Amino acid sequence: MYVAVKGGEAAIDNAHALLAEARRGDPAVPDLTVAQIREQMTLAVDRVMAEGSLYDPDLAALALKQARGDAVEAIFLVRAFRTTLPRLAHSLPVETGEMRAKRRISATFKDIPGGQILGPTFDYTHRLLDFALLDGETPPAAASAAAGPEAMPRVVDILGREGLIEADRPAPEGAEAGDLTRAPLEFPAGRDVRLQNLARGDEGFVLGLAYSSQRGFGSTHPFAGEIRVGTVEVEIVPEELGFPIVVGRVELTECQMISQFKGSKTQPPQFTRGYGLTFGHNERKAMAMAIVDRSLRADEFDEERRYPAQDEEFVLGHTDNVEASGFLQHLKLPHYVDFQGELVNIRALRRATQSARKQETAE
């Protein structure tokens, strides 16, 4: 517990002015524009949009600038901004099968309809620092090739045709998707709420959980069935119109993890799936999310829940980095009265032990 304190206004004002100066850095170096961050720090922007749970590249870039590049602080700023806006509508579910993909790979099938498309990837780079970037860069134009009209069906549907993989289930009649922005997290959580929680969850935490599950603290042995990155069009049905209209496009990353399932009393042996979907280009996050989604489905497949990544309360209760950071950092607030109490307590305990010892020596 902390108590209110008074005073310090001048110090706080000065600290904030100093913060602004520190953010600006050396004034001899040109000021960074929000457009530069939006265009050239795109993956940082995408992370802020995903975990800030607000698709607005300009605001995410502004938040990164204001937060001096601190992703979690920027996510906090974006979350705070969204609370100022009313909810107008929800979209029709986006159809990722119809995504205009700029990247699409499968680690389970070599030859897939629509092909394996690398897109703009760090994969196969040598991870050597490129000192040429020190002097600024104008890259040569990327190569072009004839783009066919070939459709890109979902890889899981290839297995689905043979019935070897669990099928997607439609929503039960009349069921509305849970919404963490409207109702607090409750357990047991539905898979809809779990996916919302993971989609806005901290990338590092979700990655760590997925990693723990891969290394043996879990029972998933996943294959990356499909990863796709690209844009979809978002449609809503305004009440006054009564038909769906496109409001804009968003870039998404989707991951289908496939893992083996030996079957249970009620289900035949088959492949099961974990699902990851995030705003922006966030492959690591989408893959980790898919593994954790599958881990959290232990009960559905009669798997014993033994590890942290399978424990819904542990996972979902700790993914949110705005909450986590807030609770951790509140320790910086004045706890003077609390601490005085503890101090009195410790002194009393000490006196008690000392006098007990004296008595022992005297005897």
Partner 1 sequence: MTPELSTPECTAARRRWMRLCALADRAALEAATAEVSGARWLRPPETGLVMVRGRIGGGGAPFNLGEMPVTRCAVALPGGAVGHAYIAGRDAAKARAAALVDALMQDPAHAERLERDLLAPLADALAAADAAADRKTAATRVDFFTMVRGD
Smallest separation, CB 328 to partner 1 (Å) = 24
Choice from 18, 19, 43, 118 touching partner 1 (CB under 8 A): 118
N- to C-terminal Cα distance for the chain? 43
Which is closer to partner 1, CB of 15 or CB of 89?
A: 89
What x-and-dash track marks residues 271-310 binding partner 1 by CB under 8 A?
--x-x-xxx-------------------------------
CB of 311 closer than 8 Å to CB of 217: no
Q: Which of 93, 139, 140, 216 binds partner 1 (CB under 8 A)?
A: 93
What tokens appear for 162 in the block?
Answer: 């043979």
Question: By CB under 8 A, how many residues form the interface with partner 1?
Answer: 81
Which region among 67-75, 146-154, 201-209, 213-221 touches partner 1 (by CB under 8 A)?
Answer: 146-154
Using DSSP's 3-state secondary structure scheme, residue 155 falls into: helix
Smallest gap, in angstroms, from Cβ of residue 120 to partner 1?
Answer: 8
Residue 54 contacts partner 1 per CB under 8 A: yes
3-state secondary structure of 317: coil
The stretch among 128-136, 242-250, 327-335, 351-359 that binds partner 1 (CB under 8 A) is 242-250
Q: CB of residue 93 vs partner 1: minimum separation in angstroms? A: 4
**DSSP-assigned letter for residue 272:** E
Q: Phi and psi dihedrals of 357, rounded to 5? A: -65, -45
Q: Which of 3, 17, 19, 89 binds partner 1 (CB under 8 A)?
A: 89
Query: Dihedral, CA atoms, 45, 50, 55, 60, nearest 10 degrees?
Result: -30
Q: Which of 9, 31, 240, 360 binds partner 1 (CB under 8 A)?
A: 240
Residue 185 identity (one-letter amino acid): L
Is residue 75 exposed (0-12), middle (13-18) or buried (19+ Cβ within 10 Å)?
A: buried
User: Which residue stretch of 1-9, 65-73, 88-96, 345-353 sits at the interface with partner 1 (rule: CB under 8 A)?
Assistant: 88-96
**Part of the chain binding partner 1 (CB under 8 A), chosen from 18-26, 55-63, 215-223, 327-335:** 55-63
- Is residue 25 a contact partner of residue 177, using CB atoms and an 8 Å limit? no
Site for partner 1, residues 190 to 219, rule: CB under 8 A: 191-193, 195-196, 199-200
- Among 213, 219, 253, 256, the residue binding partner 1 under the rule CB under 8 A is 256
Return the number of the residue (254 or 348) whose C-beta is nearest partner 1: 254
What are the angstrom distances between the C-alpha of 55 and each of 50, 58, 59, 95, 119? 7, 9, 9, 17, 22
Site string for partner 1, 153-192 (x = CB under 8 A): -x-x-----------xxxxx--x-xxxxx---------xx
Cβ 252 vs Cβ 229: under 8 Å: yes
Distance CA(28)–CA(251), nearest Å, equals: 36
Q: In this structure, what are the phi and psi dihedrals at residue 309, rounded to the nearest 5 degrees?
A: -65, -15
